[in-house]
Amino acid sequence: MKFISSKAAFAMVMLPALVATILMTQSCGKSGDVDSLYRDPSQPVEARVNNLLSQMTLEEKIGQLNQLSMPYGEGAFENLCDAVSRGEVGSLLNVPTAALSDSLQRVAIDSSRLGIPLLLARDVIHGYKTVFPIPLGQAATFDTALVKLSARIAATEASSDGIRWTFAPMIDIARDPRWGRIAEGCGEDVYLTSVMAKAMVDGFQGDDLTSPSSIAACAKHFAGYGASEAGRDYNSTYITERQLRNVYLPPFEEACKAGCLTYMSSFNDNDGVPSSGNKHLLTDILRGDWGFDGFVVSDWASVNEMVSHGFCSDPKDAAMKGLTAGLDMEMVSGTYIRYLKELVEEGKVSIDDIDRSVANILRVKFKLGLFENPYTGTPQSVKYDKAHLAAARQSAAEGTVMLKNDNATLPLSTDIKRILVTGPMADAPHDQLGTWAFDGEKDSTVTVLDALRDIYGDKVQIIYEPGLGYSRDKNTAGIAKAVNAARNADAVIAVVGEEAILSGEAHSLADINLLGAQGELIEALSRTGKPLVTVFIAGRPLTIAKQVEESDAVLYSFHPGTMGGPAIADLLFGVVSPSGKLPVTFPKSVGQIPVYYSEKNTGRPASGHETLLNDIPAEAGQTSLGCTSYYLDAGFGPLFPFGYGLSYGDFSYSDLAIDKSSYGVDDTIKATVTLSNNGKREATEVAQLYVRDMVGSVTRTVKELKGFKRVTLAPGESTQVTFELPVSELAFYGLDMERKVEPGDFTLWIGGDSDCTLSTDFEVTQ
């Protein structure tokens, strides 16, 4: 039986009944003299917005700017209903059930003067009931169509409980795996994150915003949050304006182009200015440069937190700075509802500023069709639909990356007699769901152990010895049992990694080695000499050089969600060939961080022949050891580069050609390459196109991803892969801070990861 908390039970049973009573006792607030043009869906949205706005009192306007979280406790619900009926609430988050969503909506519609619907929100980050891989895992699929489908499914399931707004996609570029929130985004790359941003916005919002299963997307965290100093959550960032525009903002601009209805301001202060009070970001760039006409919500209490930042003297000052910067809706900290009226009366906030923000919010409500269809319109039966589970399985399989496969250890054959399954993540249904899986249920989650037993249990003897209880477990008592079992097995599958709670918001780590005694478990298993397949299930890249060395084959799955088990089983036995590619560089050690492929060359780039620690003689005199940029103890390169991932095929690239050697700024480059599968199995490869702008008005990065394609080839098959790259995509913010293509020489590569070497040159002329 599933556990239902007393809070949830109360919400399901008692509260809707309470609402009915409240509605019966409250007189309907709508007065007869309301001009109801705004209710007419045949009117243009702007006419409806203006008509409604012109009839609102200042209090009602400020109410629209106020977002509350579902309250609990004695009298809290009655108070909430009163506030909603007085028009003091524009949005609610975390309303737990469809019945309650509809009840609260009824209070807003029937009991408030103007009947403005609530916008009901929740963090539906990587699935609702059917949980997909964490976004980092979805990014590893390099499959935008599948990512879009996953967001569509999440929206459909969430909307069945009345949710019409999700706080996703999270599109913070993250280059520091210590930062727990690296799990929630698409990794380190500007292009990959940008195309995934569009896919997710398209998926959440659907083809028709007014459909009951369409939910508003929210591009977050705007902006630069992923650059938190030292990977410590909420920490300050120091991103220059150029880096902001070239690296951190493009995914947000892409979301805007895709029609993303809302943005969320980030917690961090960049160069001293907290995002929730950053007019340059929220107004000049978002509205001025990009023409955004939706609304911006603060992150949780981040308006009030501008006081802690030392940017505002008190909550009233914070309300003023937030609103005037362009922050439309305040999440939970209540400074707007408390102080905006006073601030208007004192002339510190203009009514125009208030009207502008209210209009932004109403516009979104009209666009979502909430005035016409405020109540839940998606049936409950969509949850865990078969097609949803199949898509989750595909996503988990495509998002798992094979990092090593010596001696073709994988795929396993069903002729094998006995397999030992071990490790604390082999049967950890709660933990494989990952961070932000509030609505996922462990009872509906299939683990690696479940799947192996279920699919292969009648063909292969599956022995299970967990070795350790959970990922931080330091008690080594179980390791000997696992090792004994390994001695009697023909192959060992060790599933290790991180529990869900170790990544995500406020869960940063200073040490990203395997935790607990997991390292000892792998080492001991490796010493048995049995074929060792290590499967990592984690929320971030971990520093795993030693375990990779000790294993014969390695799969890496960023918390893979509800269907992670069957997906990994499919890969282990070769039902599916691995095709995932790393969306983020894997460091050799934590001291290399930040390490990412799209870096600058420096004046002294590493040559690959650097002297390392152990090659320096004792009592060496001071030398500059070749004068290049590297670490004595870790060298230069990472453990695995961005874009890396193996398959059961054997892919090679040849005959790279471009259609011209010289292009104008309005041209499109056509690049082709021959991709061959020289292996014995059908497999999918992600062909990746990179570019380098050799000389710029400011230094440029050594490689930038500009395109990718998933290509499936039969054994022995070759095909021509063609990329079309508009030269305009080479534009960047140079010395004059204008976004443009700078004519000159470029190099273009196509290959299977960011270390690819097959290249050709071209020039761009004026």
Q: Select the residue whose beta carbon is closest to ligand NOJ and give its number.
A: 167
Under rule CB under 6 A, residue 233 binds ligand NOJ: no
Q: Output 262 or 547, the one with its CB closest to ligand NOJ.
A: 262
Binding to ligand NOJ (CB under 6 A) within 23-62 occurs at none
For ligand NOJ, the binding residue among 179, 248, 252, 300 (CB under 6 A) is 300
In the complex with ligand NOJ, which residue's Cβ is closer, 120 or 671?
Answer: 120
Angle of helix 190-205 versus helix 144-159 axis, rounded to 10: 40
Judged by beta carbon, residue 225 or residue 648, the one nearer ligand NOJ is 225
Q: How would you classify residue 332: left for phi > 0, otherwise alpha for psi between -120 and 50, otherwise beta?
A: left
Catalytic site positions: 299
Closest to ligand NOJ by CB, 193 vs 400, is 193
203 or 751: CB nearest ligand NOJ: 203
User: Total binding residues for ligand NOJ by CB under 6 A?
Assistant: 6
305 binds ligand NOJ per the rule CB under 6 A: no
Does 220 bind ligand NOJ (CB under 6 A)? Our answer is yes
Q: Copy the structure tokens of residue 726.
A: 């508009």
> What φ, ψ does residue 262 adopt, rounded to 5°?
-140, 160
Contacts of 593 (CB under 8 A, 6+ apart): 175, 176, 177, 178, 231, 587
Kindly state the smallest distance separating residue 223's Cβ from ligand NOJ, in Å.
Answer: 13
- 299 is an interface residue for ligand NOJ by CB under 6 A: yes
**Least distance to ligand NOJ, CB of residue 505, Å:** 5
SS3 state at 240: coil
Q: Does 733 bind ligand NOJ (CB under 6 A)?
A: no
Residue 385 interacts with ligand NOJ (CB under 6 A)?
Answer: no
| Binding of ligand NOJ by 143 (CB under 6 A) | no
- Complex with ligand NOJ: residue 220 or 588, whichever CB lies closer: 220
Of 93 and 522, the one with the shorter C-beta distance to ligand NOJ is: 93
Distance CA 124, CA 704 (A): 31
Q: Is 610 in the site for ligand NOJ (CB under 6 A)?
A: no
Contact (Cβ atoms closer than 8 angstroms) between residue 205 and residue 259:
yes
The 3-state DSSP class for residue 421 equals strand
Does 550 interact with ligand NOJ (rule: CB under 6 A)? Answer: no
Determine if 123 is a binding residue for ligand NOJ (CB under 6 A): yes
| 505 in contact with ligand NOJ (CB under 6 A) | yes
Which positions from 461 to 500 touch ligand NOJ by CB under 6 A, shown as an x/- string? Answer: ----------------------------------------
CB of 300 to ligand NOJ, least distance (A): 4
CB of 102 to ligand NOJ, least distance (A): 22
Residue 234 found at the interface with ligand NOJ (CB under 6 A): no
Sheet holding 704-713, edge to edge: 662-663, 759-764, 744-751, 683-693, 704-713
E-strand spans in 326-433? 330-331, 401-405, 418-422
Length of the chain: 766
Q: By CB under 6 A, name the one of 38, 77, 132, 167 that touches ligand NOJ.
A: 167
Q: Which among 595, 762, 757, 588 is positioned nearest to 688, based on CA atoms?
A: 757
Q: Is the dihedral of CA 315, 316, 322, 327 positive or negative?
A: positive
Is the CB of residue 472 less than 8 Å from the CB of residue 441? no
At its nearest, how many Å lie between ligand NOJ and the CB of residue 500? 16
Query: Residue 760: CB partners within 8 Å, gap ≥ 6?
Result: 656, 657, 658, 671, 747, 748
CB of 296 closer than 8 Å to CB of 222: yes
Contact between 172 and ligand NOJ by CB under 6 A: the answer reads no
Which lies closer to ligand NOJ via its Cβ, residue 299 or residue 305? 299
SS3 labels along 282-319: HHHHHHHHCCCCCEEECCCCCCCHHHHCCCCCCHHHHH
Amino acid at 524: A
What is the contact surface with ligand NOJ in residues (CB under 6 A)?
123, 167, 220, 299-300, 505
